[in-house]
Amino acid sequence: MLAGAAFGLSLIVVIGSQNAYVLRQGLRREHVALVVTICAVSDVVLILAGVAGFGALVDAAPRALDVLSVIGAVFLLTYAAIAARRAIRPDALTADTGGASITARRAAATAVALTWLNPHVYLDTVVLLGSVARSHGDDRWWFAIGAAAGSIAWFTTLGFGARALRPVFAKPVAWRILDTLIAVLMVVIAVHLLRGLQ
């Protein structure tokens, strides 16, 4: 379960459009519960779909998973390189707190679009996380529960803790430390995937 939480967090704790939006809404204290719920529930659905789908794929075409494991490992190593580059040249995360208020409907629509229209979310949660979960065998559902719990904790913390986090994540050194940890974890997981090839 801890492995799932760590892996899930490593995929979502990055400077991206979805996280920036959740942070922005948190800083504005505007429809925070709605936005956090949409992002967290969407992630849980995608995580469970990935783990369930890969279980069926293992039975039907085990060699296809070997190919996907290699693709996943390459992606993870690329992701690690990008995170390492960000660690060397960090940027402070900025979230615009100005502007007019938006309706709950618009806030929800934006959260849905940023989550479900992002092609990386499918690679991260369905393909990549599902593939890593498969390497945990019968414990894959515990891995999924850990990943889901990590996702819920992250979005809740980011949305509701935004004001407290603002001074921390306004400093480039915070992102440098975080991206360094992400880069190391991605390399470790990539090696684990490659060792598990049949």
Would you give per-residue pLDDT tens digits along the chain (198 residues)?
Answer: 655 455 555 555 555 668 878 888 888 889 999 999 999 999 999 889 888 876 566 556 667 667 767 887 887 788 789 888 878 875 555 555 555 688 999 999 999 998 888 766 777 777 778 778 877 878 888 888 998 999 999 999 999 998 887 787 677 787 788 788 878 887 887 887 788 775
Q: Tell me what pLDDT residue 132 has.
A: 82
First vs last C-alpha separation in the chain: 24
pTM of the model: 0.67
Q: Tell me what pLDDT residue 15 has.
A: 54
Q: Tell me what pLDDT residue 176 has.
A: 81
For residue 77 the two structure tokens come to: 């190593």
Q: Tell me what pLDDT residue 152 has.
A: 94
Long-range pairs of 56-62 with CB within 8 A, sequence gap ≥ 24: 58/134, 62/198
Which residue shows structure tokens 């490659």? 194
For residue 131 the two structure tokens come to: 């593939």
CA–CA separation, 115 vs 128, rounded Å? 16
For the chain, the farthest-separated pair of C-alpha atoms sits apart, in whole angstroms, at: 55
CA–CA separation, 70 vs 61, rounded Å? 15
**Burial of 145 from C-beta contacts in 10 A (0-12 / 13-18 / 19+):** middle
